[in-house]
Structure 1
Amino acid sequence: MVTQLVRIGAEFGISCFSGGGFDGLAGKHEAAVRPVTGGLRTRVLHIGDYDRSGEHMFTTLAEDVLAFAEAAGVEVQFERVAVTGEQVVAHNLPTAPPKATDRRSFSGTATTQAEALPPDVLAAIVREAIEAHRDLEVHRQILAREETERRAIRESLSRRPRDRMAAH
């Protein structure tokens, strides 16, 4: 799943990071200060299991990273994009009863693993979430700047062989 998400993110120039279970504070701190070095607004699109642990992981990740980010003077926003109760129903995903031993609060009556989302459905969900937050004017400006830079590089490279030959 991570490889697929990295590929989708790369299409938009977005980094993808994977946590393992309940991430430690060091990883959360790194996630919070990463926007400081890049100087960019950051929105975390979260994918997790639809169960007590998945919802708790999202909540604690957001709380901890937001606290570190606030201390560093940066803004980070969080959005859970998958798996949601609506997606379980819409895509007829397999479910299981919640674990009786897990006493954390949970909004659902049945659980679903993130891996239950078919790859094409997950890709569509992620792309839609990214597109919902893209600034199309900024994107247009970046593409125009890239084209200008590409043209300048081509012109520079095409002049070099002639310049060298004239110098000999």
Structure 2
Amino acid sequence: MVPQLVRIGEEFGISCFSGGGFDGLAGKHDAAVRAISGGRRTRILHLGDYDQSGVHMFSSLAEDVIAFADAAGAEVEFQRVAVTPEQIATYNLPTASPKATDRRSFSGTATTQTEALPPDILAAIVRGAIEAHRDHDIHCQALAREEAERRMIRERLNGRPEPGQPSTG
């Protein structure tokens, strides 16, 4: 799943990181440092199993990373992107009973692993979550700037404007 998520993130200039189980404080601190390094508010999109451990991993990670970021004067926000009870119902995902040995509180009556989401659906969910927070006007401005820069570079390399394109001076 991680390579697929990395490819999706790259389309938007977003980094993807994977944790394993309940991350230690050093890993959470590192996550906070990565999140605040850009100098702006950061939203972390999280994917995890819908079970006792998955729900608690999300809340534990969010709580600790937010605390580290707050201490540094930065703002970090978490959003659980998958797996949700709505996705389980919508995509008719396979479920299992919650583990009787896991005593963590859990409001669900059934559990689902993240891997149960088909790759195309997972990609659509992640893209949708990213695009829901993207400023469309800024994105269009960036694309226009990229095209103008590309045209200028081609002109400099070729010594003349491309056919059908106005000269940039």
1:75 matches 2:69: no
The whole-number CA distance in structure 1 between the counterparts of 2:84 and 2:35 is 27
1:156 matches 2:160: no
Pairwise CA distance, 1:146? 1.3
The whole-number CA distance in structure 2 between the counterparts of 1:63 and 1:35 is 14
Q: Which is worse superposed, 36-45 or 76-85?
A: 36-45
The whole-number CA distance in structure 2 between the counterparts of 1:145 and 1:128 is 24
**Residue in structure 2 matched with residue 163 of structure 1 by the alignment:** none
Structure whose residues are more often helix by fraction: 1
**Residue in structure 2 matched with residue 34 of structure 1 by the alignment:** 34
Give the secondary structure class of the aligned counterpart of 1:79: strand
Q: Which runs of 5+ in 1 are unaligned?
A: 160-168
Q: Which runs of 5+ in 2 are unaligned?
A: 160-169
Q: Write out aligned runs for 1:35-114 (5 A).
A: 35-114=35-114
TM-score normalised by L of structure 1:
0.89
The whole-number CA distance in structure 2 between the counterparts of 1:9 and 1:17 is 10
Q: Which is worse superposed, 97-106 or 24-33?
A: 24-33
* AA partner of residue 96 (structure 1): A
Give the secondary structure class of the aligned counterpart of 1:38: coil
The whole-number CA distance in structure 2 between the counterparts of 1:138 and 1:103 is 46
CA contact under 8 A between 2:36 and 2:42: conserved in structure 1? no
* AA partner of residue 91 (structure 1): Y
Pairwise CA distance, 1:40? 3.4
Pairwise CA distance, 1:157? 2.2
Deviations 1:92-148 (A, max 9, x none): 111111111111111201111110111111111111111111100110121122122
